[in-house]
Structure 1
Amino acid sequence: MKDITHRLIEGPAGRIHVAEQGDGPLVLLVHGFPESWYSWRHQLPALAAAGYRAVAMDVRGYGRSVKPARVAAYRMLELVADCVAVVRELGGGPAVIAGHDWGSGVAAHSALLRPDLFRAVALFSVPYAPRGPHRPADAFAAMGGEEEFYVSYFQEPGRAEAEIESDVRGWLAGCYAALSADGPGESAFFLPAGGRLRDRWPKDALPSWLGEEDFEVYADEFERTGLTGGLNRYRNVDRDWEDLAAWDGAPILQPSLFVAGAQDAGVRWLAGAIEAFPQTMPGLSGSHLIDGCGHWVQQERPQEVNRLLTDWLATLP
């Protein structure tokens, strides 16, 4: 893409690939599952035009970044350490950090654990929820009832990989379509006993927001790397709960922003976390649900997201 510079940064576990554009205050962009730095392709030029140095990273396990073999290497503390390494390499901060999906969790915890390096945080699609009293894996298992919730399905190494590897392109296309505004809704996140996650997903069609050329970027990357690195993030939810005991119930105090699609099923499940923002993110200056938008908010509705993000950034001291 024009005017985007790529570089490799040395992180705690090895290389971290970043794509950057623009000059000015640093804004670090952290993607979710199953995506890459490319999910911020619409935001990089918009942030650069607004006077910021926009940097989108490949989270460890993705793209050209390091892919440790140990499942425990994908715990939240390790991912926060990668964000710290990027900021230090690019000038030391303090930076603004923004994240989508799992990247929202990484951004939120980077702000929580390192307020000295992250002066503000923007969260997309997944709200911040402080550590609670119960192990997350138990809570996710209880959500399924007679069926199985996708997070539980992802827990066993190799299980989801076996479904994905037979048709990486088809699985990705189905995932992107299923979680879009016109997808099947909550049923996309559950599977019956003995079934596959993709059985309820749309088949043989990309969502309207994702063109063939853009899809090929994702498909080529994941056919090369596989998705184990991304799936390992899910396999650390209980480790995170143990690691973050000292921050139990802790709020994020920095200036913050939340943006999500109104048709994102995750927003409905996490409505309590959004309602708790006055306590959990007292520095919140805006919480926005975009009508007609699903989970992939910064790709489905890039112009609205860019406006909300740059307007918010302009208010920061």
Structure 2
Amino acid sequence: MNSDASTELRHRTVEAPAGRLHLVEQGDGPLVLLVHGFPESWYSWRRQIPVLAAAGYRAVAIDVRGYGRSSKPEAPEAYRMLDLVEDNVAVVRALGEESAVVVGHDWGSNIASASALLHPEVFRAVGLLSVPYAPPGGPRPTGVFSQIGGPEQEFYVSYFQQAGRAEAEIEPDVRGWLAGFYAALSADTMPASGEPDPHFVSRAGGRLRDRFPTGVLPAWLSRDDLDFYAGEFERTGIIGALNRYRNMDRDWEDLAPHRGAPIKQPALFIGGAVDASTTWMADAIDAYSTTLPALTASHLLDGCGHWIQQERPDEVNRLLTDWLATLDAEALRRDRA
């Protein structure tokens, strides 16, 4: 075990295009940058950081701009994908590193894949959790999402587009909203097979939370964990997190020059078999031979929902450390050749 692996987590902030980015790190060795999704924080990686550190890596989990202790730019357009990618590059540089393996979950998976696509000289490999890689291109996103659910329901991405609307639902009771949101996508608390996914659609004129499970927490989420997440959003507000959704059309325009582009670095995908992200995007997973030509492995964990590294930390940790070890072995082989 690396001698630093047993030390406490180290909190620090670094300068980045966002202004300031908060990160938590542990361990020494090759840098592994961990990027969370919505609505989470660096804390989502609490069960991975010490394991990666013990395996000989410098594990660094960030608060994405708009979250936690990181800066929260005011302009909605400050949350476009290009800016989030540059934040990741700035973190690598601020830590004195030349390159990193980037691993992301949920929106963090999209941020990680865009980082690898746009800066292959910095991000030598990419790990994607829950949300598969789909190359830029296709129809304009908000147009597609507006058609989901039909006239009587509204898809959550469309629901999030109007500034202030979701904020008014969430911020009066952040803790309760988060509890329902997490439960809606966890394998042990999501609706039974065949029932509507309550998180993803609201009834016409209604709220998302009206269809959340109530009165139950997923097994992976303790009351202390929920208190931590709620405290972060009660302090910072939810608007920075929601502004990520409000830039999807800007991302579509910004990334148009990379339409259909594969990611050529070594890649890993881990998804939950009962996660809607993997069922909706099954075609993206099927296309990995073309879109991720250097894919090392793709795993679907039976009986696992969306919050994969928290629902199944031991399996995810094993898959991550095994994959990272193969990267190190391949790098050593190249060095000796």
Task: Identify the TM-score tier after normalising by the shorter chain.
Answer: over 0.9
Letter in 2 for 1:107: A
Q: How many percent identity over aligned positions?
A: 68
Match of 2:56, SS?
coil
| 1:258 counterpart (269, 277, 291) | 269
Q: Which residue of 2 aligns with 1:15?
A: 20
CA distance in 1, matches of 2:100, 2:242: 28
Of 137, 141, 144, which residue of structure 2 is paired with 1:139? 144
Which 4+ stretches in 1 moved above 6 angstroms?
none
Say if 2:252 is the partner of 1:241. yes
Counterpart contact for 2:7–2:26, Cα < 8 Å: no
1:31–1:59 contact (8 Å) kept in structure 2: yes
The answer to whether the 8 A contact 1:30-1:57 is kept is yes
**Alignment partner of 1:64: what SS?**
coil
Which residue of 1 is the match for residue 284 of structure 2?
Answer: 273
- Report the AA paired with residue 276 of structure 2: A
Specify the code of the residue in structure 2 equivalent to 1:178: A
Q: CA deviation at 1:119?
A: 0.1
Q: CA deviation at 1:271?
A: 0.6
Find the counterpart in structure 1 of residue 66 from structure 2.
Answer: 61
Task: Determine whether 1:40 maps to 2:45.
Answer: yes
Question: Please, which of 95, 98, 107 is the counterpart of residue 100 of structure 2?
Answer: 95
Q: Is the 8 A contact 1:22 1:48 kept in 2?
A: yes
> 2:26 touches 2:50 (CA, 8 Å); kept in 1?
yes
Q: Which moved more, 1:112-121 or 1:285-294?
A: 285-294
Q: Distance in 2 between matches of 1:19 and 1:44?
A: 9
Aligned-partner residue type, residue 156 of structure 1:
Q
2-structure distance, mates of 1:161, 1:136: 22
Q: Which residue of 1 aligns with 2:31?
A: 26
Q: Which of 303, 307, 317 is 1:296 aligned to?
A: 307
Q: Which runs of 5+ in 1 are unaligned?
A: none
Work out whether 1:207 is the aligned partner of 2:218: yes
1:121 aligns with 2:126: yes
Task: Give 1:242's aligned amino acid.
Answer: E
The one of 300, 313, 320 aligned to 1:309: 320
Residue of structure 2 in register with 1:130 after alignment: 135
CA distance in 1 between partners of 2:34 and 2:299 (Å):
19
**Cα displacement (A) at 1:214:** 1.3
| Greater Cα shift, 1-10 or 219-228 | 1-10
Task: Pick from 157, 160, 163 the counterpart of residue 154 of structure 1.
Answer: 160
Give me the TM-score of the superposition, normalised by structure 1. 0.98
Match of 1:109 in 2: 114
Work out the CA distance in 1 between the residues paired with 2:291 and 2:238. 32
- For the Cα contact (< 8 Å) 1:26–1:93, is it kept in 2? no
CA contact (8 A) 2:101 2:124 kept: yes
What secondary structure is seen at the aligned counterpart in 2 of 1:66? coil
Does the alignment pair 1:176 with 2:187? no
Query: When the two structures are superposed, what TM-score results if normalisation uses the length of structure 2?
Result: 0.92
The answer as to whether partners of 2:31 and 2:97 remain within 8 angstroms in 1 is no
The CA distance in 2 between the partners of 1:234 and 1:129, in whole Å, is 17
Contact 2:137 2:256 in 1 (8 A): no
- Structure 2: tracts of 5 or more residues without a match: 1-5, 332-337
What is the CA RMSD across the aligned residues, in angstroms? 1.1
**1:212-268 CA distances to partner (integer Å, 9 max, x unpaired)?**
111111011111111111100000000000000110100000000000111101211
Q: In the alignment, residue 208 of structure 1 is paired with which amino acid?
A: A
Deviation at 1:133, TM superposition (A): 2.8
The alpha-carbon deviation at position 143 of structure 1 amounts to: 1.5
CA distance in structure 2 between the aligned counterparts of 1:68 and 1:78, rounded to whole angstroms: 11
CA distance in structure 2 between the aligned counterparts of 1:117 and 1:6, rounded to whole angstroms = 23
Give the drift of 1:187.
Answer: 3.5
* C-alpha distance in structure 1 between counterparts of 2:138 and 2:170, whole Å: 33
Inter-CA distance 99–180: structure 2 relative to 1 (3 Å threshold) = same
Matched residue count: 317
Alignment check: 8 A CA contact 1:170 1:204 kept: no
Indicate the SS of the match to 1:236: helix
Indicate conservation of the 8 Å contact 1:181/1:294, yes or no. yes
- How far 1:139 moved relative to its partner? 0.8
